[in-house]
Amino acid sequence: MLRKIRLTFAMICFVLITLLFLDFTGTLHGWFGWLAKIQFLPAVLALNVGVILFLVILTLVCGRIYCSVICPLGVFQDILAWLGRQPKKRRKLPYSYSPALSWLRYGVLGVFIIALIAGIGSLAALLAPYSAYGRIANNLFQPIWQWGNNLLAYLAERADSYAFYETDVWLKSLPTFIIAAATLAVLVVLAGRNGRTYCNTICPVGTVLGFLSRYSLFRITIDSEKCNQCSLCSRNCKAACINFKEHQIDASRCVVCMNCIEKCKHGAISYKYHPFGKPAAGKADSEQINETRRSFFTATALVAATSVLKAQEKKVDGGLAAIEDKKIPERSTPLTPPGSLSACNMAQHCTACQLCVSACPNQVLRPSADLRKLMQPEMSYERGYCRPECTKCSEVCPAGAIRPITKADKSSVQIGHAVWVKKNCIPLTDGVQCGNCARHCPTGAIQMVPSIPEDKDSPKIPVINVERCIGCGACENLCPARPFSAIYVEGHERHRII
């Protein structure tokens, strides 16, 4: 019964979180966006004390329930492990007990925290479980979801129905796509063969919660008097944490999946209350316990010692003429979304989970290919512009990298300013009237004036009032010049109110 309850909640959380990354309409975020905000690392980076305390207390009471119910990557590994076992139903179960690799677990945790403190967000994002699953869902699952939607839109159109509409399926970032595919391949191999190897050797969140779960009030334990050492529990344990010969379970690696309870035919395994503060180590000697504790505090000390490092489209025109794709201009300073406050704040708090990229209805956000900010979102205006009335990214960000912002406030936040490129402007290159940038500027920061002041009939060119420009990119996106726009937006390191 306990296993079925756990599986039910796990699948509900997994499906809803996955839909948050697949939903290109933004409808589900208003209902279930809180599931992203209760993920451990985003809550820590957002300094969401309430969520952090909830997860810590949940772990101290129930063990690593977070890893088997709330964490989407943990549930995803269970799915992969289940699929990996299907061809082997009649063979020997693949799992067996293995000693904990404490040096590796705490070493990875130390590297992870040092990366956060030093501002190496791309390295931290590679190890973070929620972010890893977000990249897989956004880069690998969402295109399949969109193709399915487009097929339904095609069929609905033939039936004179507009219940569905087509969406563009495009590659947002090749490096991020490759990383997502590589992560999936690694998970398939590890989970398919050895279950929760990633959770118990690499995942920094699993290491932190594992240390706390050693002292949880409720733990899975083995009754040595009832156990006949059939090893069925150990061979069904994806966490490889059950030593049936010694009648002990490593609570720091146990994710409370309840598989062992269901498989035990003698009722020797149960999930029951233990006195608070007494580590669940079975018959492990005190030397092993002290060694694990020393490893944890060594990693913490390493982090403290290193804290000084912290310094910080359409393809054709009317079906007649081919339109050349726009190219991304070289910006001295990348653009970060309104609400992110600054490039520094974005780098410090962003987990590169891609949720804002998935939710952006204007196709403005995409993962960065810059090694310093690899996979973190940045803005570019080839496919759309940042509409002043849209605040989707600030609504869905769970880590505080993009702070909540109102529509009224967004219209006064300057994330960058427009720059005119004379050699690309078509009134001068082609001798035709344009003015697209001025007509569509939502703040009236662009005016068209004669290129020759003394001649009122000379071709008109744009003049930019930098103080009024908010950097929304409408001018850059709607400029007809190809392949580079005649006007582009240069980012600001720190946003300001105008």
The DSSP line for 381-444 is -SS----TT--HHHHH-SSSSS----HHHHTTEEEEEEEE-GGG-HHHHT-----HHHHH-TT-
The answer for residues whose C-beta is within 8 angstroms of residue 372's C-beta and 6 or more apart is 122, 347
Residue 472 has a pLDDT of 95
Question: Are the C-beta atoms of 315 and 390 separated by less than 8 Å?
Answer: no
pLDDT of residue 459: 92
Average pLDDT, 10 consecutive residues per value, the chain (498 residues): 90 95 86 93 91 95 93 93 67 75 90 86 88 95 94 90 87 93 93 87 93 90 87 87 88 90 88 68 45 53 42 42 76 93 90 92 91 89 92 92 92 94 93 92 94 90 94 94 93 92
What SS3 class is residue 181? Answer: helix
Residue pLDDT, tens place only, 258-302: 988 888 888 889 898 877 555 554 444 444 445 555 555 555 554
The confidence score (pLDDT) of residue 259 equals 87
* Helices and strands (DSSP H and E) totals, the chain: 24, 12
Nearest to 99 by CA among 234, 217, 189, 215: 234
> Which residues in the chain are classed under CATH 3.30.70.20?
413-497
pLDDT in tens, 210-253: 999 988 999 898 888 888 888 888 888 888 898 888 888 998 99
Return the pLDDT at 262.
86
- CA-based nearest residue to 153, from 167, 140, 142, 141: 167
What's the whole-model pTM score? 0.83
Identify the pLDDT of residue 308: 37
Match domain 413-497 to its CATH number in 1.10.3720.10, 3.40.190.10, 3.30.70.20, 3.90.650.10: 3.30.70.20
Amino acid 323: pLDDT: 63
Helix or strand (DSSP H, E) at 487: strand 487-497
Q: Look at residue 30 in the predicted model and tell me its pLDDT.
A: 86
DSSP 321: E
Say whether 346 sits in a helix, a strand or coil: helix
